Structures are given as structure tokens and as C-alpha cells.
Chain A
Amino acid sequence: MAAESQARRENVIIYADPDRCMGCHSCEIACAVSHAEGHDLFSAVAARLPLQPRNHVVSVDGVTMPLQCRQCEDAPCTAVCPTGACRQTDGMVEIIGQHCIGCKLCAMVCPFGVITVKAEVAADGTALTNHGIAKKCDLCTDWRAETGAEETACVQSCPTKAIQLVDLDEYRKALREARARELVEATRHIRL
């Protein structure tokens, strides 16, 4: 039942309110550290790990907000992935690391530019692999399972609460209610 109703829902997304974002990049640091396999900020920095955030704070035309994977329903990234590593799954688009070969096709077709394919281990130049695999927002699935956190790392870290996890059903419901309230106000004294 649950799975069925889940299937009919859209994927969850991260909503960013540009009016609240201070451009502090805290969400990027939190994202990078939450995917650092148990390192905290200090140990990751001390060990000089080249961590990648999966979100990107963007500033254009006086507006600042983080961008990350929109968990598209008809995702071009899943369509082009030659190995099937990038695919739709329960409530999100996921990239299975073991299957990814780092070909960057998904990064090229993503309209939002939110996939990176850089390695998080220092390459020594002689190895057979660069360890580079596609990385994008995974809605902190593993991290949340490990830490029991309800919110994602970026949402938790934002000092102004500019970002939140949004369930589209709830988002639409809130929009409908807000508009209905306005309509009721506007038409209260009109009888046709």
C-alpha cells in the first residue's frame, strides 16, 4: 500500500528560498562532510580529502540560492546512462556508485548542471582508475539512515532555514489553500 501510494507521488525535492539564502555556503560544506564516510569537518580538512559537495550555491542577478538535483521524473540523466547506474528508484533518482564508469554523459545532459564526476581520493597518476564516479544529490539517503536524522545535512546546516525538503503533494496543497484563502477573501461579498 505504502509503496503503491509512494509510486504515484513525485520525487521529493529540495526547495530553496532565494529571499532567505545568505550565500554562506554552509550547505555545501555540510553536504561534502555528510558524504565523507564518517569524517567530521576537522578530520576531513586535516587529511586534505578533496570532498565534493553535491549542491552548488549560485549567485545570479542579485539572487543567491543553492542548486542540486531536482530528482526529475523524466530524467535525461537516467535516459543516457550506458550502464544503468543512474536510474529512477524509490522517490528519487539514484546513481549506483559500483555501476558508474564516470563517462560524464549524465553530467552533460543534466539541464541543471548538478552532476560532478570528480574523484574524492587523490589520484597518483599511475593507477588504472581515477576513482571518478558521478555524484549528485542523493537526498542524504545513506547519511540519514546512519545518523537517524530526519532532515538532510544541507537543510540542517542552513542558518536561515532557506532550504527545506519538500513533498510536492504537500507543497501543492499549501499553494491551493493559500490561493483559496485569497479567493474567498476577494469574493466574500460578491454574489452572482
Chain B
Amino acid sequence: MLGVTKAAGIATAWDRYKAQQPQCGFGSTGLCCRICLQGPCRIDPFGNGPQYGVCGADRDTIVARHLVRMMAAGTAAHSEHGRHIALALLHVGEHKLHDYAVHDDEKLHAVAARLGVATEGREQSDIIHELAEVTLGDYQNQDYDKPCHWISSSLPAPRLKKLSDLGLLPHNIDAMVAQSMSRTHMGCDAEPENLILGGLRVALADLNGEMLATELSDVLFGTPKPVASVANLGVLKRNAVNVAVNGHNPLLSEIICNVAADLHDEAVAAGAPEGINIVGVCCTGNELMMRHGVPLATNYLSQELPIATGALEAMIVDVQCVMPSLPRIAACFHTKIITTDNQNKITGATHIEFEEERASEIARQILRVAIDNFKRRDPKRIDIPDEKQEAIVGFSTEGIVAALATVDAADPLKPMVDNIVSGAIQGVVLFAGCNNAKIQQDHNYLTMAKSLAKRNVLVVATGCASGAFAKGGMMTSAATDQYCGEGLRGVLTAIGEAAGLGGPLPPVLHMGACVDNSRAVALVTALANKLGVDISDLPVVASAPEAMSEKAMAIGTWSVAIGLPTHLGTVPPVVGSDVVTGLITDAAKAQLGGYFIVEPDPEKAADSLFDAIQERRAGLGLSTAPRRPALSPTYRFAPSRPAPALLPS
């Protein structure tokens, strides 16, 4: 595909990345401050030039403030998504939306029970109305001492206590975002320790937003169960009206899928014998893939390429991670880019405003634009690559527990716990996050997952990590035989067979979109509760080896806050401050159990994560793997002063 764009002289993300080289050293190290109009101020990283901004901010203040702002932006993004879903649920409860309904009553009851919403003898609409109101309370509560409902009903007790003791439990998502912006304003919070504490708190608000977004989406659209799907550009069809949905929010894409069948005949009449072919891109793609097995065309970095097949009639986008270049690329082909969210428009795109009240009607209108556009296709320019990869997806926490229940119905988690104890499974790694043009697309994911699966580490994935593994063939039974160590292979085979999958579970379990990292939290919480320990005791680690977005910074930070060793494969803009670097690594480890590991080399990163798993196993008194010579880390940090603490202990 890149050959096609190159021949046509079309610049893609990779060309734009090249044109940006070299990137600014001040920005890369976090030493450029643009917070007020006296700036930009830059701190000389080598100590020759200025060491303070005009206002007097030093390197630590500047780095910490900007980092916290990234976390706040990521939190705002997920939580806005969550608010959208919660409002939809509220309006379903008020009988205002006719195109939506509860698709998973069982989950509704489970969630309601968790949040203390009474269900006995109540109408479903009353339950969801109250559930939505309780949820929206997490955006409204003004009592600083009353933590958000979702997080405080979802994490293990010891973790909640720890977070509460450190003053880290958020009371209101919106207030946390506003407070982060306010404390990082010029002339406000300047102490790096205190700033990072604020960052941890806003990041935990992000977790709260993710939890509610995921769980309420399950209530409305169904909880994912294992389902077969396909991934990569070969999912586009020559004889169909191809429509890609790109972005994050399932509210529109679900309806698009629902009404596509109704318009089948119109598509056929327009000359497409196979009707309408909906494919996913990025996390909207993951949502649909998880719930309905809708094929995934690609993940973030290559989102421009489906257009270059010359066979894409429309790309419907909503929010987050949508490249503003799409209409420019589409202008070279016949594809129409359709924006649908009032707050997310792109110059050159067609905007069709989405309203939940008229969801089906608007979905039909959008699909008709695509059908109508089919005739503008230039058959000579159609070039759909053959690449297409089968993938078993849909491993929500409930999906995983159900698969485990086929082995032990009375105590589903027991087989997992037993195998972790015996060492057949050494631990669990969650791969999350994005693609980043700085890294060969999907390379770090595949390298690290193969390295860890071989060492019997169970891999779960969300977001664009999932896309990478689906395309890379890591979500098949065959991959288990090929890549897993003996212990893990045995377990996955036993469960897969008991669950009637006709083969082993895949080595990488697709847990959903990036907002669904909360599913992984639910899984580790269940494990921690089962063992009566904290998350920071479990042999569980996380990795965002190709992190890119501000959401990834928020996710990574709460992952640290809940106690997970968390790897980043891209260097975040913090290196300019050894104090901040120390806070999010060593100090976090000492006080939270979780900590960041920054390592661009995927082989070394896999080793570091494996070591972190071994450290946890040793802590629990479990058997550990023989030690191997440690590879030297790519970056060695030399602190200028003794490691600070987050809070005086």
C-alpha cells in the first residue's frame, strides 16, 4: 500500500514523520514551557544556558507541569467518551432514545449491585436511570472526601486503602481535570512531588472514566464473548460498498452495523453485489470486532491506507486518534471522510452531525452517502492487498471467566490461580496503547509478546495493541503452538478444549479498545481478591511499547498507581528532570508498588518485565525462573539529588 501512496506522491504519516526530523530536543526532554505568554522558556539540558524560566520555574517544575497536563488531557478524552455513554443510558432510562436498549441485562444487574443500585422488583428503565445518575454523580460530586463510585467499588480493598491514605482517590472526574489545569497554571503548583501526586489522582479519574465507559457500553451493546474475526487490509471487498468506522465511541458505529443490513438491497442496486461491508479502524474497530466479529482493517498508524486501496467508499470518524490528514488523502481517491461529532470536525471532511435521538435515521443517511459514492470508484485504481489474518477476539473479563468456568464451574478463577502458583503460567502482561511513527508499526508488540509468551507469560491486549496482534497472527490457536512455552501452551490448550474452541486459546487475549483497559483491571482485581492480596503483589505487568497519545500517559500513570510495573517503549518528555524521572520510577515503586520502566529496545523491555514478574513471584513465595545475565538498560539515569518521595512517609 505504501508503494501506491509513494507512486502517487501522497504523503502518509511515515513521510510526515521523516519531514519532522530531527525533532526539537527541548520538547523531547520536556524542557520547553509554553504555559504563559512570557514563554516559550527553555532550560538548557546540559547546564550551560538558562536553568530557569522567566517566572522562575526550574526544570523539575516545568517537566512535571507538562506531564500532568498530558495526563489531564488523556483523562478528559476517555471521560468525555464515558459521559457520552452514561448520558445515552440516562436517556434510554427516560425512554427518550428508541434506537438503543439494554442488551445485557445480566451485566446491568451485576453493575447495579456493585454500585449499590437496588434492582429487586424494579423496572429495568428505573434501574438504568438510577445507575446513570449514580454514574453521572462521578462528574458532579463536590465533596472532596467522597471518592468516585466506580473506582471505589471496583478495586481491591488494600489498594483502595493505600490510594486513600495517599489522598489519591478522585472525587469527581471533571473536577480532577479542572484542578490539574489549574494547579499547572503559571505561578501555581511548583513542587514536582505535589504535581506528580496531582497527576496520579487525575489519572485515577481516568481509570474511573474508563471503567464506567466500558461497563455501561457492555450494558447497552452486550458484553463481548469469544468470536472469530479477521484483520488487515484484505478485509476490504472488491464487490461491496466498503465503509470504515474509525475513532472510539460505539454509540454511532453500533447503529451503523445494525442498519447496514437494511440497506443491502440499495447497495446491490448501486452495483455492489456483496452489499455493504463494514470494517473497523483503531478502537471503534476494536469495539465492533469484540462484540460482533466485525473485521478490523487496521490500527492507528496505518489508518490512511484503507483509502489508498481505491475501494473505500466512506470512512466514518468520531473522536480521538483520527488523523486530520484523512480528507487530504481521500481527495486523491474517491473516498468520503465523514465526521460525526460536533466537537471533532476536520477541514475537507463532510460533516453529518450524529444525534442519539435520530441514530438509525442518521446512520442510514451516512450509509447512503457511501452507497452513492460507490459509482465514483475508479476500477483501475482498486488495489486491495491480499493480507488477511484470522483472529479469535472478544475476551472480556466475563469472556475469560466463562472460558475458565468450563474447566471449573464452581470456582472459575481456580485453574488460573493454580497455574500461576505452579509456574505453568509465570504471570500476566497487559499490552496497551498506540502505534507511534517513531517505531516500526507493531514491531515492539510482536517482539515483546513472542518473547514473553515463550517464557510462559499470559498476554492480554487492548486498543491498538490488539490490532497489532490480530494482524500479526497472534490471536489464533496455531500461534499458541508456535509461540508459547510449554506450561502456557498446556493451560491454553486445556481451557480452549474445555471451552469447545476446537483448539487452544490464542496466546494473546483481545480484551477490547483502549478504553477497555478497565477490563484488565477487573481481571487483576478478581485475581487479587481471590488470593487476598493487593494488585502490587501479583505477578502482573503492563506495557505500552508504542505509546503515542495523551490517553496512553493517563493509562500508564494509573497503571502505576494501582501497583503495576508499567513499561513505556517511547521515551516520555520527562528525561529533562531527574527528579520527575525518579518520582515516576523509584519513588512510585517504593510507595505504590507500581512504577514506570522506560526502555525503547523491545528485547530488553521484555527481559525487564519478566524480571518484574519474577520479583513479584518471589514476593509471594512462588517458584521463580532461573536468573539470566541482565541486559544493560538503554538509559541510565543519574540523579542530581537523593531520590525524592511522593509523600513524606
Name A residues whose Cβ lies closer than 8 Å to a Cβ of B: 24-26, 28-30, 32-33, 41-53, 118, 156-157, 159
Q: Chain A residue with minimal CB distance to B24?
A: A26
Give per-residue flags for B43-79: 1 if the beta carbon is below 8 A from chain A beta carbons, else 0. 0111111000000000000000000000000000000
Contacting A at CB under 8 A, from B570-621, are 571, 575-576, 578, 581
Give per-residue flags for B126-149: 1 if the beta carbon is below 8 A from chain A beta carbons, else 0. 000000000000000000000000
Q: Knowing that A44-B46, A46-B635 are A-B contacts, what are 15 other residue pairs whose CB atoms are under 8 Å apart, sorted by A's residue number?
A: A24-B26, A29-B25, A29-B26, A30-B22, A33-B25, A42-B29, A42-B635, A45-B29, A46-B578, A47-B637, A48-B638, A50-B48, A51-B46, A52-B46, A157-B22
Q: Give Cα distance in the complex from A29 to B575, angstroms.
A: 15
Q: Which of A24, A49, A118 is packed against the most chain B CB atoms within 10 Å? A: A24
Return chain A residues, CB-CB under 8 Å to B635: 42-43, 46
B636 within 8 A of A: yes
B164 within 8 A of A: no
Q: Can you name 11 A-B residue pairings with CB atoms under 8 Å?
A: A25-B26, A26-B25, A29-B26, A29-B45, A42-B575, A43-B634, A43-B635, A46-B636, A47-B638, A53-B48, A157-B22
Q: Give Cα distance in the complex from A26 to B26, angstroms.
A: 8
With contact pairs A42-B571, A157-B22 given, residues A32 and B28 touching in the complex (Cβ less than 8 Å): no
Tell whether, in the assembled complex, residue A45 and residue B576 are in contact, meaning their CB atoms are under 8 Å apart: yes
Return chain B residues, CB-CB under 8 Å to A41: 25, 28-29, 45
Return chain B residues, CB-CB under 8 Å to A49: 46
With contact pairs A29-B25, A29-B26, A41-B29 given, residues A46 and B48 touching in the complex (Cβ less than 8 Å): no
Tell whether, in the assembled complex, residue B49 and residue A46 are in contact, meaning their CB atoms are under 8 Å apart: no
Return chain A residues, CB-CB under 8 Å to B636: 43, 46-47
Tell whether, in the assembled complex, residue B46 and residue A42 are in contact, meaning their CB atoms are under 8 Å apart: no
Q: Give Cα distance in the complex from A159 to B19, angstroms.
A: 10
Q: Give Cα distance in the complex from A44 to B25, angstroms.
A: 12
Return chain A residues, CB-CB under 8 Å to B510: none
9 smallest CB-CB distances across A and B, nearest first, come from A29-B25, A51-B46, A45-B45, A48-B638, A46-B635, A46-B637, A47-B638, A45-B575, A157-B22
B42 within 8 A of A: yes
B640 within 8 A of A: yes
| Distance from A137 Cβ to chain B, minimum over Cβ atoms (Å) | 15
| Distance from B581 Cβ to chain A, minimum over Cβ atoms (Å) | 7
Q: Give Cα distance in the complex from A164 to B635, angstroms.
A: 32
Return chain A residues, CB-CB under 8 Å to B45: 29, 41, 44-45
Tell whether, in the assembled complex, residue A24 and residue B46 are in contact, meaning their CB atoms are under 8 Å apart: no
Tell whether, in the assembled complex, residue B28 and residue A42 are in contact, meaning their CB atoms are under 8 Å apart: yes
Contact-size category for B: 20 to 34
Tell whether, in the assembled complex, residue A48 and residue B26 are in contact, meaning their CB atoms are under 8 Å apart: no
Give per-residue flags for B634-649: 1 if the beta carbon is below 8 A from chain A beta carbons, else 0. 1111101000000000
Tell whether, in the assembled complex, residue A46 and residue B26 are in contact, meaning their CB atoms are under 8 Å apart: no
Return chain B residues, CB-CB under 8 Å to A28: 49
Q: Which of B25, B44, B638, B640 is packed against the most chain A CB atoms within 10 Å? A: B25
Q: Give Cα distance in the complex from A157 to B28, angstroms.
A: 14
Q: Give Cα distance in the complex from A46 to B573, angstroms.
A: 12
Give per-residue flags for B29-51: 1 if the beta carbon is below 8 A from chain A beta carbons, else 0. 10000000000001011111100
Q: Give Cα distance in the complex from A41 to B24, angstroms.
A: 10
Q: Give Cα distance in the complex from A52 to B24, angstroms.
A: 17
Q: Give Cα distance in the complex from A25 to B25, angstroms.
A: 9
| Distance from B605 Cβ to chain A, minimum over Cβ atoms (Å) | 15
Q: Give Cα distance in the complex from A160 to B474, angstroms.
A: 44
Return chain A residues, CB-CB under 8 Å to B638: 46-48
| Distance from B63 Cβ to chain A, minimum over Cβ atoms (Å) | 11
Q: Give Cα distance in the complex from A30 to B576, angstroms.
A: 16
Q: Give Cα distance in the complex from A28 to B43, angstroms.
A: 13
Q: Which of B26, B578, B635 is packed against the most chain A CB atoms within 10 Å? A: B635
Return chain A residues, CB-CB under 8 Å to B42: 25
Q: Give Cα distance in the complex from A42 to B24, angstroms.
A: 12
Q: Give Cα distance in the complex from A50 to B47, angstroms.
A: 6
Q: Chain A residue with minimal CB distance to B25?
A: A29
Q: Give Cα distance in the complex from A51 to B578, angstroms.
A: 16
Return chain A residues, CB-CB under 8 Å to B46: 32, 44-45, 49-53
Q: Chain B residue with minimal CB distance to A26?
A: B24
Return chain A residues, CB-CB under 8 Å to B640: 48
Tell whether, in the assembled complex, residue B22 and residue A52 are in contact, meaning their CB atoms are under 8 Å apart: no
Tell whether, in the assembled complex, residue A24 and residue B24 are in contact, meaning their CB atoms are under 8 Å apart: yes
| Distance from A11 Cβ to chain B, minimum over Cβ atoms (Å) | 26
Q: Give Cα distance in the complex from A28 to B22, angstroms.
A: 13
Q: Which of A26, A29, A50 is packed against the most chain B CB atoms within 10 Å? A: A29
With contact pairs A42-B635, A43-B634, A48-B638 given, residues A25 and B29 touching in the complex (Cβ less than 8 Å): no
Return chain B residues, CB-CB under 8 Å to A24: 24, 26
Return chain A residues, CB-CB under 8 Å to B578: 46, 48
Return chain B residues, CB-CB under 8 Å to A25: 26, 42, 44, 49
| Distance from B526 Cβ to chain A, minimum over Cβ atoms (Å) | 38
Q: Give Cα distance in the complex from A24 to B44, angstroms.
A: 12
Q: Chain A residue with minimal CB distance to B42?
A: A25
Return chain B residues, CB-CB under 8 Å to A48: 578, 638, 640
Q: Chain B residue with minimal CB distance to A47?
A: B638
Return chain A residues, CB-CB under 8 Å to B28: 41-42
Q: Give Cα distance in the complex from A47 to B581, angstroms.
A: 12
Q: Give Cα distance in the complex from A30 to B45, angstroms.
A: 12
| Distance from A130 Cβ to chain B, minimum over Cβ atoms (Å) | 15
Q: Which of A33, A45, A159 is packed against the most chain B CB atoms within 10 Å? A: A45
| Distance from B38 Cβ to chain A, minimum over Cβ atoms (Å) | 15
Q: Give Cα distance in the complex from A25 to B638, angstroms.
A: 24
| Distance from B573 Cβ to chain A, minimum over Cβ atoms (Å) | 10
Q: Chain A residue with minimal CB distance to B46?
A: A51
Return chain A residues, CB-CB under 8 Å to B22: 26, 30, 156-157
Return chain A residues, CB-CB under 8 Å to B49: 25, 28
Return chain A residues, CB-CB under 8 Å to B24: 24, 26, 159
Q: Which of A24, A33, A46, A159 is packed against the most chain B CB atoms within 10 Å? A: A46
With contact pairs A25-B42, A25-B49, A29-B45 given, residues A46 and B25 touching in the complex (Cβ less than 8 Å): no
Return chain B residues, CB-CB under 8 Å to A32: 46
Return chain B residues, CB-CB under 8 Å to A157: 22
Q: Chain B residue with minimal CB distance to A156?
A: B22
Return chain B residues, CB-CB under 8 Å to A159: 24
Q: Chain A residue with minimal CB distance to B45?
A: A45
Q: Give Cα distance in the complex from A159 to B42, angstroms.
A: 17
Return chain B residues, CB-CB under 8 Å to A42: 28-29, 571, 575, 635
| Distance from A54 Cβ to chain B, minimum over Cβ atoms (Å) | 11
| Distance from A190 Cβ to chain B, minimum over Cβ atoms (Å) | 46
Q: Give Cα distance in the complex from A132 to B7, angstroms.
A: 53
Q: Give Cα distance in the complex from A49 to B575, angstroms.
A: 13
| Distance from B625 Cβ to chain A, minimum over Cβ atoms (Å) | 29
Tell whether, in the assembled complex, residue A46 and residue B575 are in contact, meaning their CB atoms are under 8 Å apart: yes
| Distance from A42 Cβ to chain B, minimum over Cβ atoms (Å) | 5
Q: Give Cα distance in the complex from A157 to B636, angstroms.
A: 25
Return chain A residues, CB-CB under 8 Å to B571: 42
| Distance from B557 Cβ to chain A, minimum over Cβ atoms (Å) | 20
Of A44, A52, A156, the contact of B48 (CB 8 Å cutoff): A52
| Distance from A48 Cβ to chain B, minimum over Cβ atoms (Å) | 5
